[in-house]
Chains A and B, each alone.
Chain A
C-alpha cells in the first residue's frame, strides 16, 4: 500500500513542479476546478484519481466517492492524448474508453500534456544565460541523436523478429505468399469456368 502512496507522491510532485513552471497552467486548472478524474492504465489495471483544484493537482490511489469521469487507456495511447484530434480515433480503436463527459477528457489531456515551459528561460534564472543556452543546445542535439538511435533500434528489432526469431514473416516471404494466393485464385477461376462449360454441354 505505502508503495502506491510513494508513487502517487512522486507523480504528484512531478506534475505540480512542471505546472509551476508553466504560467498558463493555473488558468487551465481553473476550468477544471473541483473535478475528479479516474484514470486506469490497462496495463496496471488500477485507477489513479486526479483531484483538480485551482491550487494544484492531487493524485490519490484511492477515492471512495464517485469520480466525474472514468478513463481507461493503454500506455501507448497516453502519448497520443496530446493530439486532440486523435481522441475519437483512439476511442474507436478501443485504445481509450471513456465513461463521462468527453469534453472533460479533452480538457484534462490538455492540462497534462500541453505544457508551455521555456526551459532555457527557467535554467537561465538558475545558472545564468550562457550556461543555460549551452545546455539547451546540447540537450536538443542529444534529443536528435536519441531519436535517431531509437529509429535504428526499432528497425533492428523488426529485423530480429522476422529473420532471427521467425516470429513474423519478412517482406519477401509475404510477397511470395501473396503471389501463391493469387495463383491459387487464378486456378480456382479457371476450374470454375471449365466446370461451367462441362455443365452446359450436358
Chain B
C-alpha cells in the first residue's frame, strides 16, 4: 500500500487526506450555521426534536450535574440540560466550529440562558478537560463528522466520571429495505435541492447525505464504544433505524 492511501479518510463519498477533512467539515458548517436550525426542522420534518427528547430521557441527567454537549452546534440539547441541572449544575457546549458556537451562544442568550453554560471551541478528538470530569457527554449528529472516531470516543471516555454516560445520537442504517430505497431517494435527490432552495447551498447537503452513508452501522459503532472501554453499551433504533441512539457507561 502506498503512503498516500494510508493517510486518507472519507469526506462524504470523496476520499481526502486526513488533515484536510477537518477543514472541509468546517467549511460545511461555516456555510450552514445561520440556517442550521430552520434546515433541521424542514429536512427532518421536525422529527429531530423527538429524537432529542428521547436522548434526554435516556441521559439520566439531574439537578446539580455536569454535562458536556459535544459538537453541540446551535445548542438544542444544551438549553434543556441547562434548565434541568439548574443553578448547582453546569453545562459545556463544545464545538470545533466557531460560527456554530456563535449562533448557539446568541440563541441561548436570547432564551435567557446565561448562568450555567460555557462555550468552548474544541476538537472531539482532543478534549481540553480534566479526567473524570463530566457526569454525561452527548454528541448529537456530530460523530459522523469527526475524522478519527476511535480517538474521539477514547477522549470522551477519559473526561467522563466513573458512573458517567455517553450518548451518541447519529444517523444509522434503516432497518427495512423499502425504507432504505425511499430514504436514499430523499437524501440524494430531494435533500440537496431543499438545501439549495433554503440555504442556497446544495453541496453541504450532498455532503450530509454522503457522510450518513459512510457512518458505521449500529453494531459497528457499539463495538467501537466497547473497544475504548465503555460497558453495557446498547443502542435504540429510532424511526426504523434512520437514527440510532447509542448509550455506554464508564464504571
Residues of A bordering B, CB below 8 Å: 1-2, 4-6, 8-9, 34, 36, 51, 53-56, 58, 60-66
Q: Would you call B196 an interface residue if the criterion is a C-beta within 8 Å of the partner chain's C-beta atoms? A: no
Q: Would you call B113 an interface residue if the criterion is a C-beta within 8 Å of the partner chain's C-beta atoms? A: yes
Residues of B contacting A36 in the complex (Cβ-Cβ under 8 angstroms): 63
5 contacts between A and B (CB under 8 A): A2-B238, A6-B50, A36-B63, A55-B83, A56-B83
- Given A6-B50, A34-B87, A51-B83, do A62 and B57 touch, yes or no (CB 8 Å)? yes
Residue of B nearest to A5 (CB): B53
Query: Chain A interface mostly helix, strand, loop or mixed?
Result: loop
Complex Cα–Cα for A61 and B84 (A): 13
- Determine how close the nearest CB of chain B comes to the CB of A55; give it in whole angstroms: 5
Complex Cα–Cα for A66 and B62 (A): 8
Residues of A contacting B56 in the complex (Cβ-Cβ under 8 angstroms): 60
Residues of B bordering A, CB below 8 Å: 49-51, 53-54, 56-58, 60-63, 80, 83-84, 86-87, 111-113, 236, 238-239
- Given A63-B62, A65-B63, do A1 and B84 touch, yes or no (CB 8 Å)? no
Complex Cα–Cα for A118 and B111 (A): 24
Residue of B nearest to A68 (CB): B63
- Given A64-B60, A64-B62, do A5 and B50 touch, yes or no (CB 8 Å)? yes
Would you call B62 and A9 a contact (CB within 8 A)? no
Residues of A contacting B113 in the complex (Cβ-Cβ under 8 angstroms): 55
- Known pairs A2-B238, A55-B113; list 12 more (Cβ under 8 Å): A1-B57, A6-B50, A9-B49, A9-B50, A9-B53, A34-B86, A34-B87, A36-B63, A53-B83, A61-B57, A64-B61, A65-B63
